[in-house]
Structure 1
């Protein structure tokens, strides 16, 4: 945990709202991205807001074993799961953030861009087809770029479980991809 982060957490525990605001500013983007990628979709803002409220209320229970980010993302993951469970219908919003089409400063070849976009869409489609446990571990490890330890905290499982789920999920994903796509994707 960074010194600035540890200091902000300690000050926030003492009731310093400015310190907690610093944490909110620092971790809103990763929390929002996690919520979207884990399935909150258009409700990601609500999930993130609720997660920050719960994190503030739970600061006394935060032990600091993992970084604040991992602890917060665990709350985001739980809030997202709660949202998904409460929905009456499943939506296909899980991976919108992963299929962004940001304009690049230098215009690439349109054919290359179209091919890359199509490969990303196909990969996201195959990722969506995996069961929730496989999808969650791959989202955390590869789309949110969390370490195994951070993923374990985020998903509320042991680090060994993260390793085994990741290996199994990658195998399942590879089996869904055509041979040529495995290397390019």
Structure 2
């Protein structure tokens, strides 16, 4: 059964297909469709679990690949996330959305792999050659990171991101790039909403400092720091 679950959790590109959503699932609200699929998957229905993988694979990949530079390591973590989800379905109580529960697994698995990589002396995630900050800086899905327009300013974004701790960087990924509300991020990371806000404020402050140095003191004008909605 576990081997079959691993097959269902294999990345879509390895299965030779693109992300799909079944017609029946598409007629419902995402949370309702997830709940129905989870119920079937908990009864051992691998097809339903495979549908859950297809529905959420892209966002899980986004969380993992923006934090882990190695494509092979990132792919391993993505599969590990879905295998862990399969093994833990019986413990999913439904008091949070399935996506929140799944992304919590992704956050924990990603941070665990980062610690292992550092402990084993693999390439530092803060090393500019790793490409992690490059990908984060290139993905301008949200404010204030899209304020950097020149090559020099994008380099400043990379420096700001490189200087963040893993928890701060993950918070930035979840809020600005995956667009999770602060309340969900707090649940995923096991901290208070106030801590999430504090991390976002600190990250924006670091970015403003880098841009201010480049823009001759007025860099803060383009990168406002607003308290995010919880």
In the superposition, the TM-score normalised over structure 2's length comes to: 0.66
Q: 2:84 aligns with which of 43, 50, 54?
A: 54
Q: C-alpha distance in 2, partners of 1:33/1:183?
A: 29
Higher share in helix: 1
Shift of 1:124: 2.9
Is this contact kept in 1: 2:160–2:203, CA < 8 A? no
Q: C-alpha distance in 2, partners of 1:79/1:40?
A: 15
Q: 1:35 aligns with which of 61, 64, 74?
A: 64
- For 1:132, the equivalent position in structure 2 comes to 166
Provide structure 2 residue ranges, at least 5 long, that are not aligned to the other structure: 1-29, 140-147, 224-230
Q: 1:97 aligns with which of 135, 139, 161?
A: 135
**Structure 1 position 150 matched with structure 2 position 184:** yes
Shift of 1:171: 2.4
Q: C-alpha distance in 1, partners of 2:99/2:155?
A: 29
Change (3 A) 1:176 1:133: farther
Q: 2:96 aligns with which of 66, 70, 74?
A: 66
Is this contact kept in 2: 1:51–1:76, CA < 8 A? yes
Change (3 A) 1:116 1:57: same
- For 1:107, the equivalent position in structure 2 comes to none
Q: C-alpha distance in 2, partners of 1:65/1:173?
A: 36
Instruction: Give the count of matched residue pairs.
Output: 172
Q: For 1:130, what is the secondary structure of its paired residue?
A: coil
Q: Which has the higher contact order (CA 8 A, sep 6+)?
A: 1
**Structure 1 position 15 matched with structure 2 position 48:** no
- For 2:199, the equivalent position in structure 1 comes to 165
Change (3 A) 1:47 1:183: farther
In the superposition, the TM-score normalised over structure 1's length comes to: 0.80
Larger radius of gyration: 2
Q: C-alpha distance in 2, partners of 1:147/1:137?
A: 11
